[in-house]
Amino acid sequence: MRNGRLVPKTDSVVQFPTVRSTTPSARDAETKLRQLADPKRAAFVRGYFKCGPGEYGEGDRFFGLSVPQIRQLAREFRDLSFAHVETLLESPWHEARLLSLVILADRYPKADARAKSQIYELYLRRTDRINNWDLVDASAGPIVGAHLLERSRAPLHRLAKSRNLWERRIAIVATQHLISRGQFDDTLRLSVSLFGDAEDLIHKAVGWMLREVGKRDKATLRRFLDNHAGAMPRTTLRYAIERLSPLHRARYMAAPRRSTRR
């Protein structure tokens, strides 16, 4: 006691509990990706996604994770801030970009109007990072297609004219969401505009979306094929008719050929 006041001992130390942030970061997500890395699988998928010199995925880098692993991580990092999700999208690692897109696709339906616009605008601003078919296919429908469901479809038709392969694929694959809501017109119009595309990945995507139309409305698909089967790339046609009867498949494969190559 000093001058009537209690004075703590000079050698006593007041201990405060350590407060650690539980907010996840892009670095945390990438660390988890590294921990789950499978070098053998990474070597295989580099070939699968055509990452050799001159191929469409040239130079891409892989940890070697499976899609189910990515989806599990998307649930684990669902609260990642928007800025950190964008940081993941900028990553040179394929699975980091896929994780970013899965998080955005999962987040979009639950977001408010402002956040939905933010997700959509980021997506179209960073198409340079959505640069392989699996990245497009996991995200174009639930983000771009969903956003344009009650809006003008003009952005899809602009993307379909892009010199960028992946933007053209985004345009047609985004219509999967529209198809699921019974809206086929944009799929059919975009398909015709892409018949002359030079890329097999576009032929496959167009055929896939036409097949999706047929799953919903076989009569609509058959009317379309009656008018256009002869102008369709063979890959597109094969994909489109997969669920038709053998008789109809044979009929459309035998349609007189008309060139539309651009």
- Domains of the chain from N-terminus onward: 23-131 (1.25.10.90), 148-262 (1.25.10.90)
Tens digit of each residue's pLDDT (9 = 90 or more) over 182-211: 999 999 999 999 999 999 999 999 999 999
* 100 contacts 70 by C-beta, under 8 angstroms: no
What value does the CA radius of gyration of the chain take, rounded to a whole number of Å? 25
For the record, the structure tokens of 253 come out as: 């494969």
Q: Integer distance in angstroms from the first to the last C-alpha of the chain?
A: 94
Residue 21 has pLDDT above 80, yes or no: no
Average pLDDT over residues 103-111: 98
More confident residue, 10 or 53: 53
The amino acid occupying position 211 is R
Residues making up the chain, counted from first to last: 262
Residues 211 and 115: their CA atoms lie apart, in Å, by 32
* Segment holding 237, helix H or strand E: helix 234-240
Closest CA to 117 of 79, 155, 161, 147: 147
Burial of 248 (0-12, 13-18, 19+ CB in 10 A): middle
Tens digit of each residue's pLDDT (9 = 90 or more) over 48-79: 999 999 999 999 999 999 999 999 999 999 99
* 187 contacts 153 by C-beta, under 8 angstroms: no
Q: What is the pTM of this model?
A: 0.89
Q: Note the pLDDT of residue 20.
A: 44
Residues 136 and 205: their CA atoms lie apart, in Å, by 10
Residues 140 and 255: their CA atoms lie apart, in Å, by 32
* 262 contacts 202 by C-beta, under 8 angstroms: no
Confidence of residue 19 (pLDDT cuts 50, 70, 90): very low
Residue 27 has pLDDT above 50, yes or no: yes
Average pLDDT over residues 94-101: 98
